Structure 1
Amino acid sequence: CNDLSRLRDKFEAIQDKIMCLNFQLDESLWLPVDSVAQSFNDIYYKIKKIERDVIGHMHPVAPSKTEMSLPKIEVPVWDGDLETFHNFWSMFNTIVHESKFSDVIKMAYLKRSLIGSPLKLIQNLSNDNYFDAYNLISDRYGNLRNLAAFYVDKMLNFSPLSGSSLKDLQSFLDVFSTTCTAYNNLALDDHKDFVLFQCAFRALPSNVRVLFERSLSAGGSVPTFQELVDFVEHQCKIEELSKRSNPTKTSVPTHKTPSKLSRNPQSLLVTPESTEGKVVSTSSSPSLSTSNSSISTSKSSQNKCAFCGLSHSLYGCEKYNKISINDKYEWLKKQNRCFRCLGTHNRLRCASKGKCSECKSVSHHSSLHRSDYNSNNKTVGLSSDKNNNTTRPSGSRNSDNDHSSHTPHSQALLTGSSVTRTNQVVLLGTAQALIRNKWGKFEPVRLVIDGGSQICLISSECAQRLALPVFHKETNIDGALSSNLGTSKGVVSCTLTPHVNNPSIVLTTEAVVVRRVCADLPTVSLSPEVFNRFSHLNLADRSFCETNRIDFLLGASLFTQIFNGDRCTIIPGKPAAFDTIFGWVIMGEIHDPSPPVDPPQISLLTWESNLDETLQRFWRSEEVYSPTQSDPLHRYAEDHFVSTHSRRPDGSYQVRLPFKPDVEPEFSNTDVNARRRWVNLEKRLGKNPQFNALYRS
């Protein structure tokens, strides 16, 4: 019997090893575990029964209950619904967490039991970090205040019943009876006080709620209704004192600029025929034309050319128009002027809707137009217009021909693309770290290290997952070649720490919220040889060879704080490795043995100067032909509607009923049906007074 018990312990240990190996393979390659364990248990209990029977014949004892094996209970799969979290977590703790399985097996069971956002929360953790993953799920979804607020909000958001049917009453019981029971089972100090707190908290604006959350201690205790009232009273005192400290300003008449004298738009038209410039003021309000004439005169005297200093516009300057296009660009760059409207602002912030009069482009002014304006690729212009041999400087006027006599010409452009893929891959440094969420708990993120970025970035999905408060702040993000990548309207305060939780190492910064930090890194899957080369190191990102999402970009503001000690330890090579507080970061050029693809391509493009007309013809050729309706009755109904419809004083429309032409309408025996329908409608309205009032209102 003792040998049988030892044999069973040895069998269970082997089963655990097989299960660990199964989790490292594809599910289709798993070895059977449950069926073998069931067969072993059947044999084991049969031998134990024979043992009891033999001992019973030798030493009769009182009859005992037969030991039975209960069916196996499966852990349910949870998708993040707070309403079912308590049941799921209780069953998981009983079956898995409190069992004698190893941490690796418990981690595998935990990942198999989660889908959706809970699985994303722990998917970057290795199998050795079971307790970290367990605490993340427990702290994130098992937060006492979150559960209590969820149950109270569910009852407060319940819509009033519109009827008294069985289905309506059952929905009422499902929400209030079940939810109230679950709420009362929470370990709150005062259930009634929290209901008052949640009702009052929902009525506050979002900015006041953010201030209240910041005023709470980091212990995570559930706030009370009195604490909320005291906080609002304190805010009232602050607002009152701030208003008293700002005395009422007396109105002092000040000189207003011409642009603020009237809200009506006013434009200044400059005619380039004269070198002195004729300024004509146009206003959308006729009544202000007299009062604004003095303003136009004063502006005319101040409208001096930035190129020659005379009183005319820049694009009407003869000296400016005589210089070459390249010289114009160089002068505009030195003056920090816009290429589109020649104004004194950045071209990325230009609000002008004007287009080049020659090519209708919105990227440059008419005075900057090139006759041989082509793309940035290697292009050979094959002009089919023999009369267009000389290039007339844009902006100057032809004495023989006016602009109205200019006829569009066509060109054939032969474009050759010399962009090819090389077999060199540059690996960007990534690391796994922990970031503090709204409730003070640390959650895993994957970050990329960029010492050339002036700001830190965080994805909007990560900020929402962490529930971090977003503060309004517009940030223009520029990339290479001064290209504008967009504008972010929010920032968050972030606290980072290495993946191995070390309270002595904390990085604090302000990150700009963007829709997506960058593409998934690395851009290509790397060979196992690259990982094996650095597998003996304490890597900052154990999955640096696998393409995965990036949640955070660590910029130059934190780059100098991630090194260990006074000097940076580097292992040279391709790629190289350097030691940081997160671990060893792998970065640099990697040789990709795959052959280069995408050979050079050559395409022939025929281009016409009237691009809008060409584009319209293209869309018309791609349109699916749909024959028009030729039914004469349909045309008669449409003409009848156009000729008879009218609008009533209350805003509604009325139209005469369409009858077939030359056919007398038949209304025989319709009175009985109409009366029956009217009586039935009155009966229905009489049974429901509320619906009757709405119908007649």
Structure 2
Amino acid sequence: MPRRTPESLPEVGQEVLILEAQVRAYFANMQAIYNASTNTGENPEGFLSKAANINTLRTEYINLVKQLNIARLQEDTNYEPNFQSLIAFEELFSAVQYRMNELSPSSSNSPRSPAKIQTPVQSKSRIKLPAINLQKFDGNARDWTAFYECYNNIIHYNKDLSNTEKLQYLLGQISGTAQTAIAGIEPTGDNYQLIYSTLEDKYQDVRNLGCFYLDQIYNFKPLTNSQNLNSFLDTCATSIAAFEKLKIKDKTDFIYLYLSLKKIDQETARLFESSIRSEKLPSFENFITFIKEQAKINERIPSSSYTNVTDNRPRMRRIPVPKEMPPRTKSFVTSATNECPLCNNNNHNHFYQCSEFLKLTPRDRYATIKANNACTACLSVYHTKVSCNSSKSCNFCNSQVHHSLLCFSHKPGTDNASTYKIDKNKATSARDIVDTQNHTAAAVSLCSIEKTRQTTRTSVLLATACVRTLNKSGIEFTLRCLIDNASQHNFITNECATRLNLDINQPTYPMSVDGFGGNSSKIKGVTHLTIFSKFNSNNSYTFNSLIVDKITHQLPTSHIDKSSITHLTGVPLADETYYLPGRIDMILGAQMFTQIIRTGRIYSPPGAPQAFETTLGFILMGEAPISQSSYNSQIQIFCAITNERLDSSLRKFFEVEEIPKPKNKFLSPEEQ
């Protein structure tokens, strides 16, 4: 690998090279002083003169290591700070300091008191012990206690270390969510106590630790044979021992409360936690009192009941359906653009209106139709032949399968304006997009279709949020999510799952996402991940997500005029870049929506988006002004489709009285 030179690097890279050279020089100087301390011989003064400024050398070395880590972070945001070299430097410094104290004139016999008889004392040999490796902590509650005890005894309670030195040791030992918890605090010596107390308040929570240890026991699967007794000791025995060491006065009451919370629904448990926010260790009696009061509230406010409406329509015989064939629900966001793929014109919706299309041969026209999933019967760009209800036939061969412009039997060059009259003022009907006559049992919900041209300079914002997550290596990533309360599933792009190095499992049954025009995208797999709020790491959510190739194009579709939305200044937004078109990595579905939504709302003036409070921050939805430079005619369409169940298909099969006869002959090889 060629050696890097300062001339070939940017300014930040040059600074890293200079700091690396300075760190190596300072460490080599300390190493030389240490080597001199081991062989003082008859000239101890030479060693003492070299070691006179070791305190200054140490202070400057610590500052250089800190500056080097800051420069590397500026060069590479994914770089993890490393202060391991300070440990080796401190070992050399301590050995040199000890040797200096032995050779100091103040420790030898004073010449002013010759009458005093000094009793020779044999000095105890100093044994150099190996360096103690500090326990690392990545946010896992299992490792907190060992890290907390080790760090406090060696570093935090060490009076010989300054706050700056303690901070460097602390930052070198934490990673993952623990590092994320203090990401917003500037890492300086003055803020050491604040950083330490932040970690202590978050992880030294007696109740959370107690629940964690009890979860290990509660979730331990029963042993099926005696060969796995070691796993019982490693999980249950150690968890019980750790639980006994916690400072909980009444452990029996704590266990009663833990088991009771496991037996109630999640919403009631959340209400109970909200009622005892000021108590670190609530009692079982507090829980029973809350349940009694909640039961009275439920009696006063009965749940809504459903009324059965009498249906006088004739009943059909129910056909049994196998249980292993559940309904398949898909939810997707797609992008609709009204530009012609050949001439980039947005004034027509059929290929026969395109001048470039008319210049092609029938075979090239047919290839263009297939490549764009258009209709071979009416040449519409919005649907295929399967969903077309056009009754027109070819002017040359009377076939209803293809359009006159796609007829292979017609000689090229004879089709002109008189052959097929084009009405440029013809309006596009809703049937060009959706077949409303041949309606089936497939449920289509929340389908929004806009005109091809916008009449006002506004766009509609969909709710987006930026969340944090960690990959397998503990490196933090920021994901941009679309919050969709109409989706029954969570989705993540294949590119994002690969970037996070997530484990991908195959679905238990084939799944797909269907779009307009019969397009279908296969589900690549199912993955499991955890996301965190960028404002509060305690708001974390773990869920499964379906993997697809792509969710949608950039959102929003146009650049939003941020200067016109001044009433949201200072509001903690879930997506600070809501006004810039950007990539969507995930869809958070209805199940996640119910967990993150809160009651707060900021009402906006007409023409501005509304702000809704969530645990991820305020999300924006609704109409928003767009900047004049980004004005275009692209829109975003959302649609959720639930596939038809098997019993509906079988019912239709039995309702058929006779097989319909085809009107035309079968397709010729050329038509196929």
TM-score (norm 2): 0.42
Normalising by structure 1, we get a TM-score of 0.41
Q: Which has the higher contact order (CA 8 A, sep 6+)?
A: 2
Q: Give the number of the structure whose alpha-carbon radius of gyration is greater.
A: 1
